[in-house]
Amino acid sequence: MRVNSSVVEQAQQMDTSRRNVVVLAGCQALTQVKMSMLIAIAGLSGYALAADKTWATLPITIYVIGSALATLPSGAFMKRHGRRNGFSLGALFGIAGGLICAGALWLHSFWLLCAGTATLGVFVAFGRAYRFAAADAAPKDFKAKAISLVLAGGIVGGVLGPNLANWTKDAWTGLAFGASFLAITVISALTLVALRPLRIPPLTAAERAEPGRPLSQIMRQPAFIVAVTASAVGYGIMNLLMVATPLAMHHHEYPFSSTAFVLEWHLIGMFAPSFFTGHLITRFGTLPVMTAGAVLNLVCIGIALSGDTVVHFWASLFLLGVGWNFLFTAGSTLLTETYRPSEREKTQSMHDFITFATMAVTSLVSGAMLSREEWGWHAINYGSLPFVGAVLIAIVWLATMRSGPSASPR
């Protein structure tokens, strides 16, 4: 009887996990539509409003800073009030952020635009936990696939986001991209509806009360260091080149439709592999998949340095997306090995805080480098190479430690 009961409980847990994955993948899809629209339009909106064009990408940088600053508080909120309540609060910030950005364009206020993108960043801080929420409720052998499948929802954003930005950019007569930001508000409202079926088991009272190990101790684990290195560098380089692409193509006088096409395929590269990345991690392990992601980044940079045609931008950005997927999915999966249930929110939040802080730096650097004629697009790509090398060194370091006679318990 106990065996049968255990089998039934496992089957019920798996069914719940699969339903949660579907819900969270849908939320990821809506989130990625907004994020891809924001990447496509925020730099160009900032360029139109900024008196000093060096600061054209500052709205994107502020968006990332807002995400970084909200990451740790969002994790604490969800530990106390649950995942669904946290995600719902984040969606409210998304509604407000879209309205503020539209108002900034109407008032021709660069700094109000920055305030709006910062508010959108708070939404993203909550939404980044979708993949971890799926993993938390999943059996051990389904965690990598749960993370990967939730990220796969982002392919909708890859296809729809840049096109929606293109379709709506002139819908508000006389106010370029105003309707695009209003669309972001509507999509944020839809996220509230999509979250309703989510069922994530809450932490027990004892788990909520238990402080767990100090964060500094968790962060000293080699697996944590490598997980964060892979995710932060993967996201940092991806963000550096992705943010620079609309401005670089604008400097080459390509139409916005070409930029939207390149970003669309970049986002497809980011999320389409998620349908099989989890399987690859389960079969080959996190470190080999990370290595493949770093190698793809090197190939991406090589293509970007070889020419400035639309085809070069397209191929480079597509491979950049696939490399990001391997690094970020594997890094997120590796992170789940480093914490206990009572430690999960603070560990996940610190991982994402470091990742977002890296993104903030790369967003600002991207605009500054493109604004200087002696640097530009090629310098950005050359500057990415040492960081890809750092990921490869970190992977070799952890692999060497794990191949030793003993491994330290977490």
Residues 6+ away with beta carbon under 8 Å from 30 = 156, 157, 187, 188, 190, 191, 194
| 303-330 tens-digit pLDDT | 999 998 999 999 999 999 999 999 999 9
CATH number at 11-197+214-402: 1.20.1250.20
pLDDT number for residue 253? 84
Q: Who has greater pLDDT, 408 or 81? A: 81
pLDDT number for residue 387? 93
Task: Work out the pLDDT band at 374, boundaries 50, 70, 90.
Answer: very low
Q: Which of 72, 23, 3, 16 has its CA nearest to residue 357? A: 72
pLDDT number for residue 316? 95
CB 69 within 8 A of CB 359: no
Planar angle of CA 261, 262, 267, nearest 5 degrees: 100
Q: Evaluate if pTM is beyond 0.95.
A: no
Q: Is the pLDDT assigned to residue 105 strictly greater than 80?
A: yes
Name the one residue in this structure whose structure tokens are 């650097």. 365
pLDDT number for residue 370? 62
Exposure letters 333-363 (e unless 16+ CB within 10 A, then b): bbbbebbeebbbbbbbbbbbbbbbbbbbebb
The whole-number average pLDDT for the span 155-182 is 85
pLDDT number for residue 109? 94
Q: Is the pLDDT assigned to residue 369 strictly greater than 80?
A: no
Q: Is the pLDDT assigned to residue 232 strictly greater than 90?
A: yes
Summary mean pLDDT of the chain:
86
Q: Which of 30, 188, 171 has its CA nearest to residue 120? A: 188
* % of the chain with per-residue pLDDT over 90: 44
Q: Who has greater pLDDT, 285 or 267? A: 285
CB 116 within 8 A of CB 97: yes
Residues 6+ away with beta carbon under 8 Å from 159 = 264, 267, 268
Q: Is the pLDDT assigned to residue 244 strictly greater than 90?
A: no
The whole-number average pLDDT for the span 175-187 is 93
Planar angle of CA 65, 71, 76, nearest 5 degrees: 150
CB 384 within 8 A of CB 377: no
Task: Work out the pLDDT band at 406, boundaries 50, 70, 90.
Answer: low
pLDDT number for residue 43? 80
Q: Is the pLDDT assigned to residue 367 strictly greater than 70?
A: no
Q: Is the pLDDT assigned to residue 298 strictly greater than 90?
A: yes
How far apart CA 146 and CA 22 sit, in angstroms, is 10
- In the chain, where the domains are located: 11-197+214-402
pLDDT number for residue 203? 65
